[in-house]
């Protein structure tokens, strides 16, 4: 049966149209972010106020708050500490609990409030504290049971909001990100496009219990099969991954949207430097699966299964479909199962991701664990024969109900990305900086540097040597290469710049092409390389000439003194030697 979308701002039931199409309820209001607008009102039903229906009254329930906010340029350490302190203070005042990561690059929090009013007050206080939070999409869920509230507020300072391993100089720019945020309704329609791929940016143990299944003839689903977010840049660096994205519209999603921010920025950066062939655009669903399921509350749209949550609710799913048929299985007995209970993890010491264990196997494992623990204590206290002493090592290894033998689906098939090199985001950023510099000069109508036979080298360590520069620039075998240190015209000090004179312009051009693909480093830091503006000397000569014209008589009497002064000035500002001179 074909489904058609029935748009509604309030809850309505699915209807059958005259032509036999099933009209699906779509909550259009939930598809839009609350950035720069009022927070959603508390939803009361007609029966909420009656005493016998107190359980349906949102004021008697707790509320959930999910939000993240990136900042670029990033906060100073002092600013980050002030945001952290303010959140703790307001959280304590309003009884808000939960977990959060606070970084110089922003904030990422999963919180619970004792009631809907406290949840909204917390968000509004943040908006007043700093205007950056006005653009934050606060996702508030009311009617949460108090048993699902966090016990305390834990806000932890971190280097990254999402642990991609893309902190500081490795972080792809969000402002230069070419990807689009689209609402859940538009995203739903895009999933029908056969020239699209949709990437699930979550960990495999999350994907295992629920994911988007595009319609037949629609987008191709891609699962990176990663154990943690640090493996995403590694998956992107695989040749087969790049081939799958080539010429496609790249769509992505995650739980609440934050993981897609850096992930999409990295793909956009790869595309701009040519590490990834041109796509037909990059798009992410605004608000992640959370907003998608709230927009399609009955059937879940193209979502199948459960949305894994990092809070006490554990999972989120469509209203009417309940416990969906799932392909996920208990890791011990292979029975169909989709609920993470007991905090069981993969027994591989390099893995340790959560694994699914059904009720029956959980009872056996817990009983065995208690029995083993008791026997070990007995064995420690006496030399008598025990149950554990009679077991062989092979018995332990083959017992599927031993916690050490539990294995996640990826370990069972030998899938791993640990050995793969990640995308070199820092090198790509350096390359974009070199190219972007000229772009900015052109945009401001300033003259770009012309091709020359001299290279300018910047951002050098103050302890650098000429040998290190030649090695970094691959000039060890070039006897014509000549390095001169640039000194500051006022102070006479060396501040990290030099020039390299080469034999020809063609030689300069070919080297710069190599540096675009493999940016040079010295002492593990990238350096800036480009054409040296040889007109710099001409400018100085022109100034000297103007002064000479004003004092023609003096210039003639000096007999070439001006020319000698210009040469001395050049020698003062450009010094030769193995190391920069110390003045």
* Local structure of residue 161 (DSSP, 8 states): S
Identify the CATH number of the domain defined by range 32-157: 3.30.70.100
pTM for the model: 0.69
Where do we find the tokens 């070990």?
Answer: 376
Identify the CATH number of the domain defined by range 168-316: 3.40.250.10
How many Å apart are CA 196 and CA 283, to the nearest integer? 10
**Is 569:479 a contact under the CB 8 Å cutoff?**
no
How many Å apart are CA 196 and CA 34, to the nearest integer? 28
- Bridge partners (DSSP) of residue 474 are none
Integer-rounded Cα Rg, in Å, for the chain is 32
H helices of 115-257, in order, are 116-129, 184-190, 204-207, 232-236, 239-245
* Local structure of residue 453 (DSSP, 8 states): S
- Name the nearest CA neighbour of 481 among 463, 499, 494, 496: 499
pLDDT in tens, the chain (583 residues): 334 454 444 444 444 444 444 456 788 888 888 999 999 888 775 544 444 455 677 788 999 999 999 999 999 999 999 999 999 999 999 999 999 999 999 999 999 999 999 999 999 999 999 999 999 999 998 988 898 899 999 999 999 999 999 998 899 999 999 999 999 999 999 999 999 999 999 999 999 989 999 999 999 999 999 999 999 999 999 999 999 999 999 999 999 899 999 999 999 999 988 888 889 999 999 999 989 998 998 888 898 888 788 766 776 777 665 444 567 899 999 989 888 888 899 999 999 999 999 989 999 988 887 766 545 555 555 444 433 434 444 455 667 788 888 999 999 999 999 989 899 888 888 777 765 533 332 233 344 567 888 898 888 888 889 999 999 999 988 888 899 888 877 777 787 889 999 988 898 888 988 888 788 888 877 788 888 876 655 555 555 556 556 555 554 555 556 556 556 666 667 788 888 876 5
Whether 168-316 and 32-157 are alike in CATH topology: the answer is no
Residue 148 burial (10 A CB sphere; 0-12, 13-18, 19+)? middle
How many Å apart are CA 120 and CA 43, to the nearest integer? 13
Active site (catalytic) residues: 254
- DSSP-assigned letters across all residues of 63-95: EEEEEEEE-SSPPPHHHHHHHHHHHHHHHHHHT
Domain ranges across the chain:
32-157, 168-316, 342-417, 449-575
Residue 113 burial (10 A CB sphere; 0-12, 13-18, 19+)? buried
Q: Which CATH architecture has domain 449-575?
A: 2-Layer Sandwich (3.30)
> What does residue 431 show for φ and ψ, rounded to 5 degrees?
-60, -45
């Amino acid at each position: 049966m074909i489904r058609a979308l029935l748009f509604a701002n309030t809850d309505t039931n699915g209807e059958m149209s005259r032509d036999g199409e099933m009209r699906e309820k779509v909550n259009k209001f939930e598809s839009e972010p609350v950035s720069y607008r009022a927070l959603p009102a508390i939803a009361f039903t007609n029966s909420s106020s009656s005493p016998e229906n107190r359980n349906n009254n949102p004021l008697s329930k707790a509320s959930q708050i999910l939000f993240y906010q990136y900042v670029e340029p990033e906060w100073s350490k002092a600013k980050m500490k002030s945001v952290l302190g303010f959140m703790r203070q307001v959280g304590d005042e309003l009884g808000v609990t939960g977990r959060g990561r606070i970084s110089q690059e922003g904030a990422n929090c999963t919180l619970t409030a004792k009631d809907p009013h406290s949840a909204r007050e917390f968000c509004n206080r943040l908006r007043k504290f700093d205007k950056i939070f006005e653009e934050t999409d606060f996702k508030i869920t009311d009617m949460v049971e108090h048993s699902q509230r966090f016990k305390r507020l834990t806000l932890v300072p971190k280097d990254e909001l999402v642990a991609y391993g893309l902190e500081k100089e490795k972080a792809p720019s969000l402002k230069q990100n070419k990807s689009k945020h689209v609402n859940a309704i538009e995203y739903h329609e895009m999933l029908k496009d056969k020239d699209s791929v949709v990437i699930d940016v979550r960990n495999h143990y999350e994907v295992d219990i629920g994911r988007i299944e595009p319609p037949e003839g629609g987008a191709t689903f891609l699962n990176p099969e990663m154990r943690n977010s640090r493996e995403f840049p590694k998956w992107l660096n695989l040749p087969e991954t790049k081939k799958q994205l080539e010429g496609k519209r790249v769509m992505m999603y995650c739980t609440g949207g934050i993981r897609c921010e850096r992930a999409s920025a990295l793909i956009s950066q790869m595309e701009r430097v040519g590490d990834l062939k041109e796509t037909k655009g990059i798009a992410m669903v605004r608000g992640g699966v959370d907003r998608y399921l709230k927009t399609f509350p009955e059937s879940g749209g193209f979502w199948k299964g459960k949305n894994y949550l990092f809070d006490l609710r554990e999972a989120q799913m469509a209203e009417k479909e309940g416990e969906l048929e799932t392909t996920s299985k208990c890791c011990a007995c292979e029975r169909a199962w989709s609920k993470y209970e007991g905090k069981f993890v993969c027994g591989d010491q390099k893995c340790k991701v959560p694994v699914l264990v059904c009720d029956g196997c959980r009872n056996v494992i817990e009983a065995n664990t208690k029995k083993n623990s008791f026997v070990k204590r007995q064995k420690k206290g006496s030399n008598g024969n025990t149950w554990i002493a009679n077991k062989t090592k092979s018995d332990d290894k083959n017992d599927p109900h031993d916690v050490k033998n539990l294995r996640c689906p990826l370990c069972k098939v030998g899938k791993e990305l640990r050995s793969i090199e990640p995308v070199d985001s820092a090198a790509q950023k350096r390359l974009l900086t070199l190219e972007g510099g000229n772009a900015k000069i052109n945009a401001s109508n300033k003259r770009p540097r012309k091709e020359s036979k001299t290279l300018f080298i910047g951002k050098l360590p103050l302890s650098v040597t000429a040998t290190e520069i030649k090695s970094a620039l691959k000039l060890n075998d070039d006897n014509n290469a000549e390095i001169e240190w640039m000194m500051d015209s006022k102070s006479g000090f060396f501040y990290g710049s030099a020039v390299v004179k080469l034999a020809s312009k063609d030689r300069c051009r070919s080297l710069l092409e190599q540096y675009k693909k493999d940016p040079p480093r010295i002492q593990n830091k990238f350096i800036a390389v480009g054409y040296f503006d040889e007109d710099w000397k001409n400018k100085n000569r022109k100034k000297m000439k103007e002064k000479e014209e004003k004092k023609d008589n003096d210039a003639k009497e000096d007999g070439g003194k001006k020319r000698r002064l210009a040469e001395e000035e050049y020698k003062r500002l450009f010094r030769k030697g193995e190391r920069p001179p110390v003045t």
